[in-house]
Amino acid sequence: MIKKLLNPLLVTAFISLMLLSILAHLIFGSCQATKYHYMIQNHWLPNFMPQTQSIATGEYENYTGVWRSYFENGNLAYRGEFVYGKQVGKHVSWRDNGVKMSERVYKDGAIVSMVEWDESGKLK
């Protein structure tokens, strides 16, 4: 009985279906769900899909939560919080080598303070 349930064809079909569902989740899920969602949707996928089939990327209107952007190498490029599409709190940008580029503090979409660093990481 168990041998019939573990038919190699059925097991292969099940594993294939699971892999396809994981891939679909990474492609069509929110790009802010994980770092890997963002990397696939903004860096890897556009290279392999025709322009007419590409998924829209960028900021969502009325987005609330922490927004993260990543470089192709996987390093964090930007991190900032939004409430109904307005920037609030600390927003930090990094260069692709990991050196901090700028740090801005927002309140209701307006800049309250800003600090910037040069390419070597020294304050400007």
pTM of the model: 0.65
Q: Distance of alpha carbon 75 from its chain centroid, rounded?
A: 11
Share of the chain above pLDDT 70, in %: 83
Return contacts of 65-71, CB within 8 angstroms, 24+ apart: 65/32, 66/32, 67/32, 68/32, 68/35, 68/38, 69/38, 69/42, 70/35, 70/38, 70/39, 70/42, 70/43, 71/96
- Beta strands, E only, 18-99: 65-70, 76-83, 86-94
Give the contacts of 86 (CB within 8 A, at least 6 positions apart): 106, 108, 109
The string of pLDDT tens digits covering residues 32-71 is 788 888 888 777 776 666 554 444 445 556 778 888 888 8
